[in-house]
Amino acid sequence: MFGHDLNPMDLRPQDVDRATEQARGVEAALAEADGLLAELTGTGRSRSGHVSAVVNAEGRVLDVTVGERALREGAIALCEDIFTAVGNAQEDVQRQAEALLRGHLRQAVPDLAMDPVELRQRLERLLD
């Protein structure tokens, strides 16, 4: 389950002990990462650089800053700037969250083959 070779037809007590130990490690790493995730913020800018945004770990917008020059190109251009800045901030925080989760799991369980991002994507595909 967690990466080392297991033969389902020949499970030994030490295999169960090892899997249990890894599961505890994963649980502890996730709990620790959870607290750090809550403190993450992502930042993003528009292509023009005149609009910037800050979001929290859940992608909720905390602040949008509009520069004086962002207004010169009109309302439609400003909408695009806001759209891009917020999107970039959300991508930024997602990248940070994934890196943090991977780092914590690797540190807690070095021989863990499971990738948390891949696992999440596989779980999401279950409902496709």
Partner 1 sequence: MSWPAPDQDSQYLDTILRQTRDAMRHLRAAKHMIGQVEGTGEAADGLIRVRTGADGVLRHVDLNPRALRLTPEAIGREVTRAIQSAQDDSARQAKEIVNGVASHVDALPEPLDERFVEHRVETAMRDLYSGGL
Window contacting partner 1 (CB under 8 A); options: 19-27, 84-92, 98-106, 115-123: 84-92
Residue 38 found at the interface with partner 1 (CB under 8 A): no
Residue 61 carries which DSSP code? E
Q: Interface mask (CB under 8 A) for partner 1, residues 88-127, using x and -? A: --x------------------------------------x
Burial class from Cβ neighbours inside 10 Å (0-12, 13-18, 19+) for residue 2 reads middle
Residue 70 found at the interface with partner 1 (CB under 8 A): yes
- Closer residue to partner 1, CB minimum distance, 15 or 32: 15
8 A C-beta contact, residue 113 and residue 2 = yes
Of 108, 21, 106, 91, nearest to 57 (Cα)?
91
- Residue 92, both tokens: 């930024």
Which residue in 35, 68, 110, 118 binds partner 1 (CB under 8 A)? 68
Torsion 26-28-32-35 (CA) sign: positive
Residues that bind partner 1 (CB under 8 A): 58-68, 70-71, 74-76, 78-79, 82-83, 86-87, 90, 127
